[in-house]
Every structure is written in C-alpha cells, then in structure tokens.
Amino acid sequence: MRAIIASALALICLGTPTILNAQAQRSQEFKDKYKLKEAVVLSRHNIRSPLSDSKSDLGRMTPHEWTKWSAGKSELTSRGGALETMMGQYFRKWAVDAGLFPENYTPTADDLNIIANSMQRCIATAQYFSSGFMPVGGVRVNHRYTPSKMDPLFNPQLTKVSPEFVATAMEQINAMGGKKGIVGINEAIAPNYEFIQEVMDTKDSPMAKSNDPKLKDFTNYNTEIVLEKFKEPSMKAGSALKDLNAASDAFILQYYEEPDSVKAAFGKKLTRDQWSQLAHIKDVYQDVLFTAPIVAVNVANPLIQYMYDELLSPDRKFTFLVGHDSNLSSVATALGVEEYELPDAIEKKTPIGSKIVIEKFEGADGEEYADINIVYQTVDQLRNMELLSLDNPPMIYPLSLKGLEKNADGLYKLADLENRFEEALAAYDAIPAK
C-alpha cells in the first residue's frame, strides 16, 4: 500500500538505488547471451498545457499570470513535441543497437503497432515519437476517434462497481493515510498545501480579495472520493487535495515549459527539492485515485489485456501505446510493481513523457526472458531540451515486481511475467459486478 503518510521532505531526501541492468548499460556479453525479440511500451504524453485555463479558479488562486502556452487547453505544446521527437530518436538508436531493427527500417503492419488515446495530446505525442523513431518508415499512428474523445482502451474508468467494491476500495484508499484515513493523507501533505499557496501568493489573489468561500476548501482535508460505474475515480470539488492538485499540475507544466525557472515560480527562486514539494501534491492525488489495488485492476483491465496480447503476438516487434499518467499508475499497480521513487525527477512516479518499457528476450539457453523499466527524461533533459543518445540516454529505472525473482542478469522469466498479467486479469474477473 502506498505510504503517503510520510512527509514530502522525507520522500525527497530518501536515497535512490543504483540504476542497474538498464538498456543503455547492457554489455556486449549481455547482447551475446540474450536476443531482444520485442518491446511493449506504455507512454504518458509529453508536455501539454494545463487542463484548466487562467479564466478558471486556477487563475483566481493567484495574482500572477500563468505562462502563455503554445497550445490550446490540454493540448501538446511545441516544446513537448520536440522533446518527444528526441525520445523517438533515442529509441531508434537503442533499437538499432539492440538488433531489433536495422537503421532506416520500413516496418510492416505485423511488426510495428503504434496506438494512441484519441486525445490531441496523445495522438500528437505518438506522431512526434514516430517521426524520431522511424523518420522514413511511413509509420501510421492508430487512434479510434477523431480528437478529442477518450478511447475505452485508455479511459481509466470503472467498469465494475458494487457496494462490495466501493467498500474494499475505500478501505484500501483510507489505509494510505493510516488511522485517520483520507484526512491523514491530507494532513501528511499539509506543508505542501501551505507552500504552494505561498508560491502562488494566494493571500493577494482575486479569490482572497473577494473573500471567495472557496478559499476554505484549501483547509478541508475530508476529501470525498467518487466511485461510479463507467466513470473515472474522482474527487468532489471542495477539498484541498482536489483543488490544489490543479495548481500543482499547472506548476509542474510551467516549470517544464518556461525556460526561466524564476519566472515559472512567479518570481521566486525555488530549489529542485521545492519544485518536488509542489509536484508531490499531484503525485498523492494520482496515488489516491488510481493505486488502490482493487481500483487499479478495475481501471487498467483493458490495457492489461491489450499489452498481454501484444506480448504473446509472435510477429510483433514493437508496440507503442500513448495514454496518461493514470494509465501508467494503474497498470504498474495492477502488475504488482514494488514501490519506487524516481531520481532526477520532480514527479516521482510517472513524469511527463515517461514510458513503461517491457522487453522480451530469447536467451542462449533457449528460454524466454523479460525486463521492465520506466524510461523518462530527467528534469535537466526536459528543461534544457537535451539531445538524447546512447551516450546521453534518458533515465532508465528498473522496476521490480512483488514476489518475483530476477536472474543474475537482472531479467525475469517471461512465463513469470505472463503469469503476473494473468493474475491481474483474474483479479478483475473476481470483482463483484453488482
């Protein structure tokens, strides 16, 4: 269960494990021993504009002007597109180096599958990635609908809801906050709430000057969770976690988008740890909504099934799925990924543009193996728009699966990973339907 009750400062100060057995560090000896056969990648979209514009409550929380965005509300920005092209270029170099594809490969419909949620930011991310990954491949990006509409494959909606499900889900969510439950979750990050209001200068905001009763929401820690069939898990408006999450999200994106970090912080010089404090509110928001185990297997079920089918496909070499942070969070939880905190990131779980990468190998011993990593651009790589290469790779952080053992080369048996997918699918089937 997510240990949210620790303070943000404690989370930030934790040591980070050494990055071992990652893609960029693999030796020739490893490549001689294991042949890469396939990769399945689940990606979050790259930098977008905020979901709320300056005319909303987000704008009334502060006397300052938010960044002027290069894209419409919720859409991929030009900077996000450029960064995703760089990620695509890196993956091309990695795939060629790993022997998955030759340089300037023209893929077939069988060996390459790129599919995006039908939101503009997801389709655009897939397009930019593809232009870097296979610039002369004539790659088709598949999406179900015209923009912007949620595809059921990526929509983190609850498809099974019953009184029993709600009771179990709320028990698991409340456990994140200890004895005080949801109030405890909020109390643990109360310093973060105070800090983000300090950075926004909320005391001088239009909200404050008009004595808007919504200001009281920032001290309401009794967040109400809504779990309804065919809807995303959500929070009712009127609590600190719900309302200040929007500000946390906007600050994160502004820090990535705005080259001047002082301007991004409304004139304040923030340390990297302080930016992490701002981002931690959103991390907690995601954990509460999407990482209770029974919620995760419910909302992630379509993606778990799809990724499992792709792994079993004998002809597929590369699958690239583009969705949202909620997709990565719920899939990771459903598969039983151990707790982790990402180094060199202000978002500690699913940074902007991050990717869960599952690799399938054929060993020299005739057995099949798998690895699972999360790949993401560091804060400096994002802010400085650094070109990526095998010599300057993105961060590649190994994920561990609860109860499964890696071999001496850091790989799982493929059969064990397949069993983990099957267990997640079975957990969904076991959820009471009524």
- Catalytic residue annotation: 45, 325
According to the model, what pLDDT value does residue 3 have? 43
Rounded to whole angstroms, the Cα distance separating 162 from 380 reads 45
Determine how many CB atoms are found less than 10 A away from the CB of residue 103: 9
Cis preceding-peptide flag for 148 (omega within 30 of 0):
yes
Distance CA 266, CA 356 (A): 33
CB atoms within 10 A of CB 28: 7
Look up residue 281 and give its two tokens. 């509110």
**6 falls in which pLDDT band (50, 70, 90)?**
very low
The CATH class that applies to domain 163-292 reads alpha beta
Q: What is the pLDDT of residues 101-119, one digit of tens each?
A: 999 999 998 999 999 999 9
Give the torsion sign (CA, 198, 199, 200, 204): positive
Q: Is a pLDDT exceeding 80 seen at residue 302?
A: yes
pLDDT digits (tens, 9 = 90+) for 333-349: 999 999 999 999 999 99
CATH 3.40.50.1240 placement within the chain: 8-53+80-157+296-429, 163-292
3-state secondary structure of 421: helix
| Extended strands (E) in 221-280 | 225-226, 234-235
CATH of domain 8-53+80-157+296-429: 3.40.50.1240
For 384, the enclosing helix (H) or strand (E) is helix 379-384
Question: Residue 11's pLDDT band (boundaries 50, 70, 90)?
Answer: very low
Do residues 61 and 207 lie in contact, with contact meaning Cβ atoms separated by under 8 Å? yes
Write out pLDDT tens, residues 146-201: 999 999 999 999 999 999 999 999 999 999 999 999 999 999 999 999 999 999 99
pLDDT category, 69, cuts 50, 70, 90? very high
Task: Give the predicted TM-score (pTM) of the model.
Answer: 0.94
- Summarised one tens digit per residue, pLDDT across range 247-261 is 999 999 999 999 999
Contacts 24+ apart (CB under 8 A), 49-55: 49/73, 49/74, 49/75, 49/77, 49/253, 50/74, 50/246, 50/249, 50/250, 50/253, 51/246, 51/249, 52/246, 52/250
Q: What is the pLDDT of residue 26?
A: 86
Spatial separation of the C-alpha atoms in residues 205 and 187, rounded to whole Å: 24
Distance CA 289, CA 267 (A): 32
DSSP state letter for 218: G
Asked if residue 14 has pLDDT above 90, the reply is no
| Secondary structure of residue 14 in the 3-state scheme | coil
Whether 39 shows a pLDDT value over 80: the answer reads: yes
Query: Which tokens belong to 292?
Result: 């209770």
Does the pLDDT of residue 4 top 90, yes or no?
no
pLDDT at 371: 97
Q: In sequence order, which residues have a C-beta less than 8 Å from that of residue 377 and are 6 or more positions away? A: 83, 86, 87, 351, 352, 353, 386, 388, 394, 395
pLDDT at 63: 97
> Mean pLDDT, to the nearest integer, of 363-388?
98
